[in-house]
């Protein structure tokens, strides 16, 4: 498989039971994870906690996990006041929200 690196790499030393990376910019559909020196269980999410039931990567191997297609949406309107509403076009990707409310 050919690789086309996007962004910068990240390294994480596991010195105890668990470790978490800082946020990684979502720029590609796949994330390659290498387990160097010990096996690892991996969870991907906004605040993931991997357990023995999560994806397993054996020591000395790597895996390419899907992070989903990066998505974006143009903003078509912003309404401010007590509540701020950000509006998005409705005819585009149905997986993206039509509006986000901030209080």
Query: What's the pTM value of the predicted model, to 2 decimals?
Result: 0.57
Averaged over 97-101, what is the pLDDT?
A: 44
20 in Cβ contact with 48 (< 8 Å): yes
For residue range 37-49, list pLDDT tens digits in order.
888 888 887 777 7
Of the chain, the end-to-end C-alpha distance in Å amounts to 46
């Amino acid at each position: 498989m050919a690789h086309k690196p996007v962004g910068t790499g990240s390294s994480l030393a596991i010195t105890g039971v668990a470790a978490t990376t800082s946020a990684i910019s979502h720029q590609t559909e796949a994330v390659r994870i290498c387990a160097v020196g010990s096996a690892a269980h991996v969870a991907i999410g906004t605040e993931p906690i991997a357990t023995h039931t999560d994806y397993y990567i054996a020591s000395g191997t790597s895996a390419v996990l899907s992070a989903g297609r990066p998505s974006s949406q143009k903003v078509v309107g912003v309404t401010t006041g007590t509540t701020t509403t950000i509006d998005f076009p409705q005819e585009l990707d149905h997986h993206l929200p039509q509006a986000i409310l901030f209080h």
